[in-house]
Amino acid sequence: MKFWHSLSLICALMLGESFLLSVEPGNIAGFKLLYWVGSPYPTWSVSWCGQTGNPCRYLAGVGGTVESPTTADQIYVYEFDGSSLAFLFSQNFGDVSFLSGDWCKSSCEYFVTGGLQTSPLVIWRFEGTQFNPQGIYPDISLGQTSIYSVEWACVGNDCQYLAGGGFGENTLVVMQFDTSDTFCTIAAQPVVQPDSIVSVAWCCDGSGNHLATGGVGDIFCPGMSTINVYDFTPGNTTLDLISTESTAGIVRSVAWCGDESATCKYLAAGGYGMGETEDASGIAAITILSFDGSKLTALTSQDNPSIVTSLAWCSGGGCRGDDTDCKYLFVTGVDKRVIVYRFDGKALCFITYIDLPLSGLSIKVCDSSEYMAVGLRGEALGNYMRLYSIEYESCIPSFPSFPAPKPTPVPPLPPCCD
């Protein structure tokens, strides 16, 4: 077993560390650190994949250095059964650095990675003990110098389409993957605005197959950026821009959320002020937008203590099994924290936070809303990925204590979680 994995086992002794606050029943009470796992480089992207009965079965972390590609293993894959995290394997692809990775979640059979500069877009087949490269597509084929964000689409057959966003001649493309011969073709014409795409996110509903993007409006001239939503129709060779919203600075992360009334109801975006340095003095912001199937509308904005690098929605465990979609927004950034906001459909309200040992780069909540993975950035042995369980307040009401029994009965307390 490699040294990093031995270190991971040692670090797992931290099992049981908890961060709990007292809040209303049904709210998030805090987080319990289950494991932290070592890797020699920053973990830029984390991704969950599950199967029937276990939506949080596999966890992958993707990493590398920004300054230059690395020959160390860039992908680490683990299996999680709800109580123990087992290392499966790590993957090396030569002198490259991967910045983004995503499971094809409907089957966990395929994984895609995108990377920095000369790092290609690679589609891998998961074979239990290794990732087997099925398609290697140099970034020049996408017209991109760097691929910052990749995500499998929710449209078409299993693992059929994916989007890649980055920097270069073509900032955004949609590709089609044929699992029968592993041949990848461009299914939509590249889009050249904004100048750099940092985050992509798919959402599909009855009104269309929506692809949201966030990035940098002009990397050579600080100014406005845009949050865009495109529609994609299989068979078409173009992406249709259906809505755009201007915002200051850089949008580092976008994430969809919906409820029973609409699958693609809200879009969250987080980033920082353009021209500022990446520290707490930067202008950091979170924006929540509503989407009606054809148009984005800004709902609310929230200042954040530091630069937002990644955000993720969590439906919440609720109370008495009454989950509420889009209930929480988890945010991480350079201030070495995960901050939890509660969303009521109109505004964000701060709930709690946990400290991290290093700056957060990526955050993903498992579909069950029970577990959260965070990828971190640091130096030397301090680069790793952390796995937390999300702790919710109990629905059991707490009765007040009295100095002495009274002859009359105590009136019943109001029911919990009305």
What are 332-382's pLDDT values in tens digits?
Answer: 998 899 999 999 999 999 989 999 988 999 999 998 889 999 999 865 555
What are the pLDDT digits (tens) for 138-175? 544 566 678 899 999 988 777 889 999 888 777 888 88
| Measured CA angle at 141 (ends 135, 145), to 5 deg | 110
CA dist., res. 187 & res. 10, Å (int)? 46
Q: Is the pLDDT of residue 202 over 90?
A: yes
Task: Determine what percent of the chain is predicted with pLDDT higher than 90.
Answer: 34
CA dihedral 275, 276, 282, 285 (to 10 degrees): 20
Q: Which residue, 286, 340, 290, 334, is CA-closest to 314?
A: 340
Predicted pLDDT at 307 = 86
> Is residue 400 very low, low, confident or very high in pLDDT (cuts 50, 70, 90)?
very low
Q: What is the pLDDT of the chain when averaged over all its residues?
A: 77
Predicted pLDDT at 392 = 84
Q: Is the pLDDT of residue 218 over 70?
A: no
Instruction: Tell me the domains of the chain and their CATH numbers.
Output: 33-392 (2.130.10.10)
Predicted pLDDT at 367 = 84
Q: Which residue, 307, 286, 316, is CA-closest to 361?
A: 307
CA dist., res. 263 & res. 253, Å (int)? 19
CA dist., res. 169 & res. 248, Å (int)? 23
> Is residue 134 very low, low, confident or very high in pLDDT (cuts 50, 70, 90)?
confident
Give the per-residue SS3 of the chain. Answer: CCHHHHHHHHHHHHCCEEEECCCCCCCEEEEEEEEEEECCCCEEEEEEEEECCEEEEEEEEEECCCCCCECCCCEEEEEECCCCEEEEEEECCCCECEEEEEECCCCCCEEEEEECCCCCEEEEEECCCCEEEEEEECHHHCCEEEEEEEEECCCCCCCCEEEEEEEECCCEEEEEEECCCCEEEEEEEEECCCCEEEEEEEEEECCEEEEEEEEECCCCCCCEEEEEEEECCCCCCCCEEEEEEEEECEEEEEEEECCCCCCCCEEEEEEECCCCCCCCCCCEEEEEEEECCCCEEEEEEEECCCCEEEEEEECCCCECCECCCCCEEEEEECCCEEEEEEECCCCEEEEEEEECCCEEEEEEECCCCCEEEEEEECCHHHCEEEEEEEEECCCCCCCCCCCCCCCCCCCCCCCCCC
Please indicate whether residue 282 or residue 352 has the higher confidence score (pLDDT).
352
Assess contact for 320 and 395: CB atoms under 8 A: yes
Can you tell me the mean pLDDT for 274-287?
Answer: 53
> Is residue 4 very low, low, confident or very high in pLDDT (cuts 50, 70, 90)?
very low
Q: What is the pTM of this model?
A: 0.84
Q: Is the pLDDT of residue 88 over 90?
A: yes
